[in-house]
Amino acid sequence: MSGTVNEIRDKVLAILSVNFSADQLAMVDSAVVESLQDYKIEREETLPAVSIGPEREVVEFLARKKSKGLKEGTLVQYTHVLRAFCLCVRKPIHEITEWDVIKFLDDYERYRGVGKRRKDSMRVILNGFFRYMADSGRVSVNPMLTIEPIKYRKNVRNPLSGIELERLRRVCQTPKERALVDFFFATGCRVSEVVGIRKDDIDYLNRRVKVTGKGDKERYVFLNDAAILSLDEYFKSRDDRREAVFVSDRRPHQPLKKNAIERIFRILGERAGITRNVFPHLIRHTTATYLYRHGMRLEVLSVVLGHDSPDTTKIYAKDDPALVQNAYMMSAA
């Protein structure tokens, strides 16, 4: 495939990357490649194309993030945003100003329908990129320093009630479904952590499981009676020798991936008659709220959840009016 065709392909993907998922982009990529494979495309100008944007610096930054263990999904998001930025801001890195960044973000909001939350996520990615450029001496002035966080309305994520959680358990039709529900609630794990767990990570004697969280940091999460029993019944129902804790039903019983686990929870939520979307992170939120309501201190809860700081864990207190009311009543008594 010619270089010009590749440039067109990259530009199309970059334009769509902010609003399209990775799977959708893959489909578009295949369609573009198939449509252009029999064509010879040349630039109208005779001069060779010169890259004047920060492409080289972006490639270096992404390589550094990958080497530091950035998760694949997050790396894809970084790539999409920075690739789009390169195509929209055709300037050498040292000439980019805060107004170039503001225009880029505003144009995506105005013409691509990007919401405030997504716009601020893009700002955070650009902030990380230019901070690295400033720290490494590539730019003398960081254009992000004067760009403030973009305010947006944060929706309160209510945890599942005790009745909703019990409904999830009761509609489980297979040992695997029950094991997933009980395991996620007992451990409060992220779905990205669960997909990597192996059987030998489970310490039944101490009722705990070793997981690898963000930044490849290992920690222990803990099992209750329901999770231990459900896992035991699930393992007995399997006829494979896979070491992964959760595997697909069909041969060759590959380890369950993130989207497969999310699909199972979505189906369970619909089957249970829960009117909102049920997903693994909602179970994690439910676990955190349950533990906090039952007296676990924030600094301990942050360790269980794998947060770098208790400040991150405070969201579970802020999002739960019952906790605030309970604290008030105890103080006023």
pLDDT in tens, 26-40: 677 777 777 777 666
Distance between CA 209 and CA 211 in Å, rounded? 6
Residue 142 has pLDDT above 70, yes or no: yes
Boundary of a domain, candidates 135, 150, 170:
135
Distance between CA 214 and CA 73 in Å, rounded? 12
Buried b or exposed e, range 148-175, using 16+ CB within 10 angstroms: eebeeeeeeeebbeeebbebbbebbeeb
> In this structure, is residue 42 part of a structural domain?
yes
CA dihedral 81, 85, 88, 93 (to 10 degrees): -170
Residue 190: CATH number of its domain: 1.10.443.10
> In this structure, is residue 156 part of a structural domain?
no
Domain match, 69 and 211 both = no
pTM of this prediction exceeds 0.85: no
Domain match, 38 and 90 both = yes
> In this structure, is residue 281 part of a structural domain?
yes
Domain match, 166 and 297 both = yes
What are 74-107's pLDDT values in tens digits?
888 899 899 889 888 888 888 999 999 999 998 8
> In this structure, is residue 220 part of a structural domain?
yes
Domain match, 82 and 200 both = no
Backbone angles phi, psi at 250, to 5 degrees: -85, 150
Domain match, 293 and 170 both = yes
Domain that holds residue 107: 3-135
Domain match, 91 and 224 both = no
How far CA 158 is from CA of 1, 166, 216, 300, 321, in Å, comes to: 50, 16, 29, 22, 10
Residue 62 has pLDDT above 70, yes or no: yes
- Looking at the structure of the chain, the number of domains it has is 2
What are 297-309's pLDDT values in tens digits?
888 888 888 887 7
> In this structure, is residue 143 part of a structural domain?
no
Mean pLDDT of 64-76: 81
Distance between CA 74 and CA 317 in Å, rounded? 27
pLDDT for residue 23: 64
Domain match, 270 and 171 both = yes
Domain match, 200 and 313 both = yes
Domain match, 103 and 216 both = no
pLDDT for residue 149: 87
Domain match, 121 and 175 both = no
> In this structure, is residue 152 part of a structural domain?
no
pLDDT for residue 333: 47
Domain match, 119 and 247 both = no
Domain match, 307 and 183 both = yes
* Mean pLDDT score across all residues of the chain: 83
> In this structure, is residue 292 part of a structural domain?
yes
